[in-house]
Structure 1
Amino acid sequence: MLVYGDHEREVRPTEVLAALRERLRQLDTLPTGIVRHAALVSLFIEAGELAQGLLDADFAAQRQDELNPRSTACLALPLALARAIRYSHSSGFASYSPIPDEVIDTLERLELPERVTVKMPEGYAYYALYPELYLEAARSLRLLPRPPVVIGIRSIGTGLSCLVSAAAGTTTPPVTVRPGGHPFQRTLSLGPELERKLLAGAKESHVAIVDEGPGLSGSSFGAVADFLEDRGVPEDRLLFFPSHAGELGPMASERHRKRWARARRYTADFDALFVHPSDTRAPLVDWVEDVTGTAVGPLVDVSGGAWRRKHFPDERTWPAVHIQQERRKYLLLTARGTFLLKFAGLGTYGERRLARARQLSDASLTPPVEGLRHGFLIQRWLEGARPLPVARGLDRAELVARVGAYLGFRARRFLSEPGRGASLAKLLEMARYNTAQVLGDGYAEALGVWAPRLERLSAEVRPVETDNKLHAWEWLVLPDCRLLKTDAVDHHDAHDLVGCQDVAWDVVGAAVELGLDPAEQSILAEYVERASGRAVSAALMDFYRPCYLAFQLGHHVMAASALEGLVPEESARLRRAAERYTALLRDPAPTSYFA
């Protein structure tokens, strides 16, 4: 199934360096504590992104990874920031080690490309992959007879390898590599000088291999290990630093699977470090108490679909969710009430989502927002609210009007530049492929009727930061019958291929998820037009409908497959949801969600 996509953007290295220098100067003006520590982490993430962009630019020009003055210089800045984060973390945020001016000076003196492409580090943006976890995982490396050779796997491994280097006490920056080839059979392409350095170091010490994952195949970790083993480095010299303690995914090769089972793997657990430490109270509570007030109870984990217990006491009525991809979220009871702490992203990712959440909250379209602390968005938990499927008192005409006002607000206020979402051609490719997997080539070929019309349709697209998650349980009905949207800040920027689209995408999504008939969808589009000041294209709605259904079908089928052996009851829910999307693809006539 085609579901996922990468997010990239172009930046000017000179502008990024100037902004980083200015923000480094401002660090000492920030209050001691979690706010300053979070600012350090934000700087580290951006420095790692820039290093990745510069290293990938060299790789594209040379078609291999190789040592050069720029490859060393661009890693010096994230390494210095990693050391500062380590000092801040170990000191309880009381102080941090200085970042020398020369790490930026040296890089600025080198010849830099006018623009480079940086990739979103998904772990920092979506999956609560905290730098502190890698620092904790790598603490024992200081016990080795010699500091290890550290290899980071780009993209996110650029910065993560600097954290492992900082924890290990190495005096030089790590090296990074970009595995290439088939996603499940990646290989390395190294220049002679880099290969010589790695193999020479591996003869004298251990090799720490650092990345996020592993995912479906673990082929990026495998590519580095294969390269070293094939050149005589013993397997027991290889130390792996993944983001989780699980096994390789179903597409792993037999060689990689056997090695991973024997491998020395180093991880740290988020809950053990931040939520349920053995020796102190939860650091996450300490981060937020200046906003929420003093806690009067422990954190309650409502991640991974556990929030459903709060609203759907009967498990038979639970909506299907991909529990592995849900953001971390916790409830905190304080003297001021109950608050929802939800991971929104580290650094600028979280800051942008906070700004968007405030705009929606100030417009009374979402629950109240209290603040952001080191990646966690803090919102009021509305005890009296009920999800739409179990709520009473809101008739369909009122529902359509309020959904239209919400979508119209987004279309007016959250405009997007082009290129932040899949093109219509990419959406059609996805729709035809996913449909063929379930309904056969005949249904997929029928969608080809859209191909000659894409150029004209593209002229009608006005991209906005669409909601992209308009399922019925994402709407809360308050006791006074006001309707609020939850989970509204980042699905246009999620780890999938959809991204930002014309508001017509959300009109179709709302119609599908709320069971609106064609007349109600037309009325919804009129409300959106009234609130946004721009008509919703009927042709785009017609095009988006099979694309939306095919995307949701693919998402639910893949999620069901991923959870089949782990959480079979959730997998069954997801397959039932997939069957609904399949039926809608087969029969274009809408059916009522509430029927």
Structure 2
Amino acid sequence: MTDSSGYRMYVFRSGRRDVAGQRLLDELAADLRALADPAGAALRRAVALRAVIRAGELESILADAGAEGASLLARLTDDLAALLVGVGGGDAGALAIPDGQTSGHGRPDVWPRTARRLATPEALTALTAIDVPATVPTSPPEGFSFYALHPLDFARLAERIASSRTPVRVVGVRSIGTTLSAVTAAALRRRGIQADRITVRPSGHPYDRRVELAAPQRRWVEDGIAEGAQFWVADEGPGFSGSSFLSTGDALTGAGVPRGNVVFLGSRAPDPDALVAPDGARRWRSFRAEIVDYGTHVPGDPGEFIGGGQWRRRLYEDESSWPASWTAMERFKCLSREGDRILKFEGMGRYGAECLERAHGVFQAGFGPEPRDEGQGFASYPWIPGRPLQADDLSTAVLERLAEYCAFRASAFALPSAPAEELIAMTRHNFSTEMGKDLPGELRLEVARPVLVDGKMDPHEWLRSSSGELFKVDASGHGDDHFLPGPTDIAWDLAGAVIEWRMAPDARRAFLDLYRRRSGDDPERRLPPYLLAYALLRLGHAAMAAASLQDEGEVRRLVAARQRYRAAIEALGLETLSSALG
């Protein structure tokens, strides 16, 4: 087994969910009305941020469908991006100027006329009359939802690297690249630089995507070549392969753009030699790449950065006790200068609002700290003096607390339904990748109690406070992020508790009995396949993390975690495996 096997693991989920198309239009229309309301001046930044994300999402959906309304949404996204970076119809922009200051004209800043124009009855009627399907598939934009990527990070990058009056053609990679391309172009126009944009949708295998330019897009590229434009490709990432960027760059050069005129605008600097796209290192190095600066839009005075696994230095006496972490995938976190609050990125837009609502539910039920909305996708929580638990801390009291928490989630975060197909596919794929053979028999994952699971029942996710109380931390986002499992049966969290706490048979029986009495749900029959699926997902997660990181200490912890999950799979035994497979 080589380290590269980690890249073949199945750990990410599609994240797609169906939403009412008209609902998305109505929500965007409500944002436009709020932007034009003089009484809402204090909320303009938040509303404009939410609106440009929503507009980009809708534009991507309509563009993918080839719908007529895509061009109207593209103009609206551009207008909202202009508001966000402070352009807007010739007026100085409020959003780019700190509160209480004046515009560059020396007068108190005013909301641009653009906001009023976008909220006229005629404009709103045209928006809500766009023909959209009854339901549309949506996915949370990862950078805006999970990684504290702010649209204005790309505006700052554009202003930093724009060094002349050379025209720029911006190509956004759908979906999140739609909003990013609009903000990038708006920032360039603010500098007096001619800028235009389109969006593209790479397709094919995630590690070897392709971009096909439609005839109008090829003419747009040719016009840019004729005017001597640079071509900037805007997207988050690159990911493991870099193929979305690379396929877009290849499409541009294939259409005649000089390679030196193509610039990638991304959110991280990759190791080209680690990119798994075909010939990825050579292709990546043939293009110029520029990366945004993170952490420039953190609300207030953030204090000490404790993301990327640094929080462990605050909670453990030495590194030998540290739990493994895929540090590059952790949420942005800071500890206040007073040391009494932790500031955490929970997500912008609809995703962040739902995450914050769940955090409030966990607090009100007495399982976690109280969240406070800090704006721009951030929430803060009280820093709980205490220590994280370890598997050796398992006791009757801990079993009771775990069972109570699972029963709470089964009730409070219940869903009408949850699909099992992707989890089944993951289980079969990761088993064959790790074990070198196929699963024997048919895997069934019964979804009797569909729920938005916690997804992280590890001992270190529980803190014992100085007063002896047990608190669940990090309880709002993992069940609905871009990793599997996504919504599924509560048996997922039950299986997670059994495996992560290394429960002996008597402890497992006691735990399930406690859960049964509190929930009225008997999970015993449907649990075995979830034990297998859980262990294989966590094994795959550890393997992929180890393959992607360079820190030797972290890699050792992740390799040890992978071995531990493999041992857990082998310990299930033939009887459990047989009942899981049927």
TM class by smaller structure: 0.7 to 0.9
Matched, 1:546 2:546: no
Label 1:30 to 1:312 Cα distance change in 2 as closer, same or farther (>3 A). farther
Structure 1 counterpart of 2:282, from 249, 258, 269: 258
Give SS of 1:519's match. helix
Percent identity (aligned) = 32
Label 1:20 to 1:428 Cα distance change in 2 as closer, same or farther (>3 A). closer
The aligned residue for residue 370 of structure 2 is 368
The aligned residue for residue 280 of structure 1 is none
Tell me the alpha carbon deviations over residues 463-488 of structure 1, each in whole angstroms, 9 at most, x when there is no partner: 11111101111100122321110110
Moved more, 9-18 or 312-321: 9-18
1:267-416 correspondence runs (5 A) = 267-271=291-295, 273-274=296-297, 284-285=299-300, 299-334=303-338, 338-383=340-385, 385-389=386-390, 396-416=395-415
Give SS of 1:138's match. helix
Label 1:226 to 1:382 Cα distance change in 2 as closer, same or farther (>3 A). same
1:92-491 correspondence runs (5 A) = 92=98, 96-97=111-112, 98-99=114-115, 100-101=117-118, 104-140=124-160, 143-169=163-189, 174-204=197-227, 205-248=229-272, 249-254=274-279, 256-271=280-295, 273-274=296-297, 284-285=299-300, 299-334=303-338, 338-383=340-385, 385-389=386-390, 396-419=395-418, 422-423=419-420, 425-441=421-437, 444-446=438-440, 448=441, 450-451=442-443, 454=444, 458=446, 460-491=447-478
Task: Decide whether the 8 Å contact of 1:549 with 1:581 is kept in 2.
Answer: yes
Task: Decide whether the 8 Å contact of 1:354 with 1:372 is kept in 2.
Answer: no
Distance 2:39 2:410 in 1: 36
Distance 2:358 2:74 in 1: 32
Give SS of 1:152's match. strand
Q: 1:519: Cα distance to partner?
A: 2.7
Matched residue type, 2:96: S
Distance 1:301 1:390 in 2: 28
Structure 2 stretches lacking a partner, 5+ long: 1-8, 87-93, 101-109, 575-582
Distance 1:236 1:156 in 2: 25
Q: 1:525: Cα distance to partner?
A: 2.3
Give SS of 1:333's match. coil
Matched, 1:22 2:30: yes
Task: Decide whether the 8 Å contact of 2:542 with 2:562 is kept in 1.
Answer: yes
Matched residue type, 1:430: M
Distance 2:314 2:510 in 1: 33
Give SS of 2:562's match. helix
Tell me the alpha carbon deviations over residues 491-516 of structure 1, each in whole angstroms, 9 at most, x when there is no partner: 11011131111111111110111121
Matched residue type, 2:403: G
Q: 1:218: Cα distance to partner?
A: 1.2
Matched residue type, 2:220: K
The aligned residue for residue 289 of structure 1 is none
Q: 1:142: Cα distance to partner?
A: 5.6
Distance 1:215 1:514 in 2: 32
What TM-score comes out, normalization by structure 1 length?
Answer: 0.85
Task: Decide whether the 8 Å contact of 2:218 with 2:255 is kept in 1.
Answer: no
Matched residue type, 1:490: G
Distance 1:493 1:582 in 2: 25
Moved more, 401-410 or 262-271: 262-271
Task: Decide whether the 8 Å contact of 1:344 with 1:377 is kept in 2.
Answer: yes
The aligned residue for residue 497 of structure 2 is 510
Moved more, 404-413 or 146-155: 146-155
Distance 1:584 1:104 in 2: 57
Moved more, 224-233 or 480-489: 224-233
Matched residue type, 1:428: I
Moved more, 141-150 or 352-361: 141-150
Distance 2:23 2:439 in 1: 47
Distance 1:182 1:116 in 2: 23
Matched residue type, 1:527: L
Distance 2:541 2:471 in 1: 25
Distance 2:39 2:347 in 1: 20
Give SS of 2:199's match. strand
The aligned residue for residue 295 of structure 1 is none
Tell me the alpha carbon deviations over residues 512-553 of structure 1, each in whole angstroms, 9 at most, x when there is no partner: 111212332232223223333x31321221110111111111
Distance 2:181 2:328 in 1: 25
Distance 2:348 2:379 in 1: 10
Distance 1:52 1:539 in 2: 43
What TM-score comes out, normalization by structure 2 length?
Answer: 0.87
Structure 1 counterpart of 2:488, from 501, 522, 526: 501
Distance 1:173 1:115 in 2: 31
Q: 1:56: Cα distance to partner?
A: 1.2
Matched residue type, 1:250: L
Matched residue type, 1:440: G
Distance 2:73 2:416 in 1: 29
Q: 1:307: Cα distance to partner?
A: 0.8
The aligned residue for residue 593 of structure 1 is none
Distance 1:181 1:322 in 2: 27
* Paired residues, number: 539
Q: 1:193: Cα distance to partner?
A: 2.1
Tell me the alpha carbon deviations over residues 272-329 of structure 1, each in whole angstroms, 9 at most, x when there is no partner: x24xxxxxxxx6325xxxxxxxxxxx71111111111111121111111110111010
Moved more, 132-141 or 94-103: 94-103
Distance 1:439 1:500 in 2: 27
Q: 1:200: Cα distance to partner?
A: 1.7
Matched residue type, 2:568: L
Distance 2:369 2:128 in 1: 45
Tell me the alpha carbon deviations over residues 177-215 of structure 1, each in whole angstroms, 9 at most, x when there is no partner: 111122222222232222112222233111111111111
Q: 1:252: Cα distance to partner?
A: 3.0
Tell me the alpha carbon deviations over residues 85-119 of structure 1, each in whole angstroms, 9 at most, x when there is no partner: 11244212566533332665544455443333222
Q: 1:128: Cα distance to partner?
A: 0.9
Q: 1:143: Cα distance to partner?
A: 4.5
Give SS of 1:11's match. strand
Matched residue type, 1:213: G
Q: 1:268: Cα distance to partner?
A: 2.4
Q: 1:259: Cα distance to partner?
A: 4.5
Distance 2:475 2:174 in 1: 30
Q: 1:158: Cα distance to partner?
A: 1.1
Task: Decide whether the 8 Å contact of 2:391 with 2:459 is kept in 1.
Answer: no
Distance 1:123 1:589 in 2: 41
Give SS of 2:340's match. strand
Matched, 1:90 2:96: yes
Give SS of 1:145's match. coil
Distance 1:230 1:153 in 2: 17
Distance 1:270 1:322 in 2: 18
Label 1:536 to 1:40 Cα distance change in 2 as closer, same or farther (>3 A). farther
Matched residue type, 1:404: A
Give SS of 2:525's match. helix
Label 1:96 to 1:146 Cα distance change in 2 as closer, same or farther (>3 A). farther
